[in-house]
Amino acid sequence: MDVRSRKVVGRPMAPGMAAEPADDALKMAIAHRGPERGRLHHSDHGSRYVSPLIGKTMGEGGIMPFVGSVSSPWDNAVTESRMGTMKAECVHARTFSGREEVALEIFEYLECFYDRIRIHSALGRLSPEEFEKKQMEESRSKAA
């Protein structure tokens, strides 16, 4: 099955460390989430994240880059934890026939299970979707 038929935009998994897949992911996040101007994009010092391509997309979306400290394991702890969990629960448990199958499986795991159903201790035993809804409701009630 072609991954793009599942509404995955661009190059979901590239063979190298190019900036284009990260830029595609950022564009997809902006399109789906519509972040407010002034939001921060936290990343490590990887070349793809400090590329002019990513910088242009962030600038157009009103997003400010925020790069973590060199050699600080705490800066990316949440992301590293998410990646480790995904590998343990999704990737390492299977054998895949090719790159497109892996991309589809990871997309389905993250979009259909991890962000919507799976509870997270760091979020008060809520799923990310439930946590975000709760945060939005609290934000609205404070603004009212």
Whole-angstrom distance, CA of residue 104 vs CA of residue 108: 6
Residues 57 and 26: beta-carbon distance below 8 Å: yes
pTM of the predicted model as reported, rounded to 2 decimal places: 0.60
Inter-CA distances, 143 with 120, 129, 137, 139, Å: 27, 21, 10, 6
Give the mean model confidence (pLDDT) for residues 81-89.
87
- CATH for 1-75 (3.40.50.720, 3.30.200.20, 2.60.40.10, 3.30.420.10): 3.30.420.10
User: Domain map of the chain by residue range?
Assistant: 1-75, 76-144
Each residue of 122-140: pLDDT tens digit? Answer: 889 999 889 989 988 888 8
Residues 45 and 68: beta-carbon distance below 8 Å: yes
* Tokens (6 digits) for 140: 């609205």
Q: Would the pLDDT of 15 be above 80?
A: no
Lowest model confidence (mean pLDDT) among 50-59, 64-73, 121-130: 64-73
Q: Would the pLDDT of 64 be above 80?
A: yes
- Quickly state the pLDDT bin for 118 (edges 50, 70, 90): very high
